[in-house]
Amino acid sequence: MPHIRSADGTAIGFDVFGNRGPAVVLVSGGLDDGSENVPLAEHLAGDFRAVVYRRRGRGDSGDTPPYAVQREVEDLATVIAAVGGRAHLFGASSGGALALHAAAAGLPVDRIAVHEVPYLLGEEMLGAWRAYTSDLEAALDRDDRDEALRLFMRLAGSSDEQIAGAEAAPVWPALRALAPTLRHDAACLGDGAPPADLLAGVRMPVLLTTGATIDPHSAGLPVDFFGAAADVAAGLVPDARRVTIEVPGHVADPGLLGPVLTDFYLG
């Protein structure tokens, strides 16, 4: 697995799927080291050079302190430079928020697709976000990774029973290793609301996709949580396209999402 060095010297690991066509860099969301994007990258590999990289603090990538969203934008710039100097972007969940930050910052990006960016609407949800970010900082400051994961899962709509099941599952240690990066995702989402000024500064075409149903693990969220957020965000982006697809959960089926992305990137 190759590595590159970001502007601050941090090592960033990445893999490329496919050897022809435009580059598409896939940006992972919360508690993901990039693995969730691999099936989608494999699907896109017939038409694109699909790049899956490990965001800083995840997998084999470093995490040089202090953290700032700008460092992650620099990471993306370094990845794009390594694969030819221009690329399309795909961002999943909070990775979509990072992709939009990168576009607004002027990175050499042609088209951007984001899936289910978890922007929050309404004072109740924004109040829950403020409480989450405060409690998350406190938990991670004392290195209580288990509590950090519980806080994230509660915010994402998981029940206490689902959280207990996750803690007992074999995947929990891997999630604990990623728990400190929840701070990174929170920083990418800022105050939680769709960032009007930032989105207005994204000048390239943006596709905002959501699934038709809520993930069963997010049953505590409003049924229109992702769709409503995407509708508001689409209204703020100058060149936005909005698509709802039949996907079973927050991690989209590449067989359903892949053709939508291919048509968008090649359109």
Question: pLDDT per residue over 49-84, tens digit each?
Answer: 999 999 999 999 999 999 999 999 999 999 999 999
- Residue whose entry in the numeric block shows the structure tokens 């010297």: 9
**213 falls in which pLDDT band (50, 70, 90)?**
confident
Q: If residue 5 lies in a helix (H) or strand (E), which one and from where to where?
A: strand 3-5
One domain for residues 178 and 221: no
* Separation between Cα atoms, residue 93 and residue 7, nearest integer Å: 25
pLDDT at 218 (0 to 100): 82
Residue ending a domain, among 146, 164, 185, is: 185
One domain for residues 68 and 143: no
> If you average pLDDT over residues 138-155, what whole number do you get?
98
pLDDT at 56 (0 to 100): 98
Number of domains in the chain: 2
pLDDT at 1 (0 to 100): 61
pLDDT at 220 (0 to 100): 86
Structure tokens that stand for 170 in this block: 């074999």
Higher pLDDT, 218 or 105: 105
DSSP code of 179? G
One domain for residues 78 and 198: yes
> If you average pLDDT over residues 201-209, what whole number do you get?
97
One domain for residues 164 and 209: no
CATH number of the domain encompassing residue 196: 3.40.50.1820
> If you average pLDDT over residues 37-57, what whole number do you get?
98
One domain for residues 109 and 216: yes
Residue ending a domain, among 185, 216, 238, is: 185
Sign of the dihedral through C-alpha 40, 43, 44, 45:
positive
* Separation between Cα atoms, residue 246 and residue 56, nearest integer Å: 31
pLDDT at 133 (0 to 100): 98
| Domain residue limits at 180 | 123-185
pLDDT at 248 (0 to 100): 66
Q: How far from each other are the two terminal CA atoms of the chain, in whole angstroms?
A: 31
pLDDT at 195 (0 to 100): 98
> If you average pLDDT over residues 171-180, what whole number do you get?
98
Measured CA angle at 190 (ends 219, 180), to 5 deg:
75
**Mean pLDDT for all residues in the chain:** 96
CB 243 within 8 A of CB 150: no
Residue ending a domain, among 185, 220, 239, is: 185
One domain for residues 116 and 210: yes
> If you average pLDDT over residues 205-214, what whole number do you get?
92
One domain for residues 204 and 104: yes
Sheet holding 11-17, edge to edge: 3-5, 11-17, 49-53, 23-27, 87-92, 109-115, 206-211, 240-245
pLDDT at 216 (0 to 100): 77
CB 208 within 8 A of CB 117: yes
* Separation between Cα atoms, residue 262 and residue 267, nearest integer Å: 8
Of all residues in the chain, what percent carry a pLDDT higher than 90?
A: 91
Measured CA angle at 24 (ends 63, 5), to 5 deg:
30
**246 falls in which pLDDT band (50, 70, 90)?**
confident
